[in-house]
Amino acid sequence: MVKIKNTLLNTDSIVFYDDDVLSNIEPFRETYPNIKSIIVPKNKPYNQILKGHSHFYYPFMYLKKYKNNRYAQELVKKMKINETKIANNLCDQCENATNQGITEHEMKNIARWSNNKKILEKTVLFDWDNTISVCNGIFMPLESDKEWSKNTEQLLKQNLFNEEEVAQYCAGTLERFRALKKMFRILRQNEVHCHILTNNGWGNLTKTNYPLVDVFFLKVIQVIDPWMRATDIICGREVGKVQKFKETEFLIKRYNSLKKRTKKKNKTKKNTFF
């Protein structure tokens, strides 16, 4: 395999950011060599909040810094501080593993790249977990994960917290939250196509009997990027089906479908994606 420079260049027209090298970056580089797939450094805890504590303590340390965030308040209420497992199944990987995500320096690079007028069509694909978000997942403060959709719907009806508080929590510091909003605003002003490409189960926007659950992830993203639409979110998970392939293969299949729709929609414009 040809070694690809992990740097955004002025000649790139379509870019994919993800922290998972083996499952996402390498398959994309192999399947879509003309997509610049950029690795977001992994295994770097978000110490801007953690201050050297383990990932488990992110909700506590976040609440210590931002005392008025009601989402963090509700998470902490359901956690058991003296146990290695969290009461509400807060995370099934590395106790709510955090990461640096896309740094503010990289956001500035993306914004500068978007100003390139020589490329007529520009597209950015962002992973969510540990890339846009510094957290791995969006977790609900529930007593258990039994009847999760039903109980989450009931929880959201109580308005104990809102999507902005969740988005701020996922973004890390308020400075990074504001930087994300600014980056997306510049990208949209420069008519860059923006998509979320995720394996997070929240990203499956299939309509169910739980309407608040169905749109919650989209509303969280729209806090950061108000122009994001449901069709801009590509999810690698299937609901109600046995997953026979790797999640990445679902993502590639979904992206291939998106590419065809985009070409059809923009058939009067010169397409420089590939």
The confidence score (pLDDT) of residue 147 equals 85
Q: pLDDT tier at 165 (50, 70, 90 boundaries)?
A: very high
* Lowest-confidence segment of 3-17, 91-105, 118-132, 150-164 by average pLDDT: 91-105
- Residue, of 91 and 13, whose pLDDT is higher: 13
The confidence score (pLDDT) of residue 172 equals 96
Average pLDDT over residues 150-169: 95
Rounded to whole angstroms, what are the CA distances from 194 to 55, 63, 132, 183? 29, 31, 12, 11
- Residue, of 162 and 264, whose pLDDT is higher: 162
pTM for the structure as a whole:
0.82
Average pLDDT over residues 67-84: 80
Average pLDDT over residues 101-126: 92
Q: What is the 3-state secondary structure (H, E, C) of the chain?
A: CCCCCCCCCCCCCEEEEECCHHHHHHHHHHHCCCCEEEECCCCCCCHHHHCCCCHHHHHHHHHHHCCCCHHHHHHHHCCCCCCCCCCCCCCCCCCCCECCCCCHHHHHHHHHHHCCCCCCCCEEEECHHHHHCCECCCCCCCCCCCCHHHHHHHHHHCCCCCHHHHHHHHHCCHHHHHHHHHHHHHHHHCCCEEEEEECCHHHCCCCCCCHHHHHHHHHHHHHHCCCCCHHHEEECCCCCCCCCCCHHHHHHHHHHHHHHHHHHHCCCCCCCCC
Q: Is pLDDT of 188 > 90?
A: yes
The confidence score (pLDDT) of residue 179 equals 97
Average pLDDT over residues 31-54: 87
Q: pLDDT tier at 67 (50, 70, 90 boundaries)?
A: very high
* Lowest-confidence segment of 25-34, 152-161, 230-239 by average pLDDT: 230-239
Q: Read off the pLDDT of residues 227-271 as tens digits, 9 standing for 90 and up.
A: 999 888 887 655 444 443 344 555 566 566 555 554 444 443 333
Q: pLDDT tier at 23 (50, 70, 90 boundaries)?
A: confident
Q: 74 with 87: CB under 8 angstroms?
A: no
Q: Is pLDDT of 91 > 70?
A: no
Q: Is pLDDT of 140 > 70?
A: yes
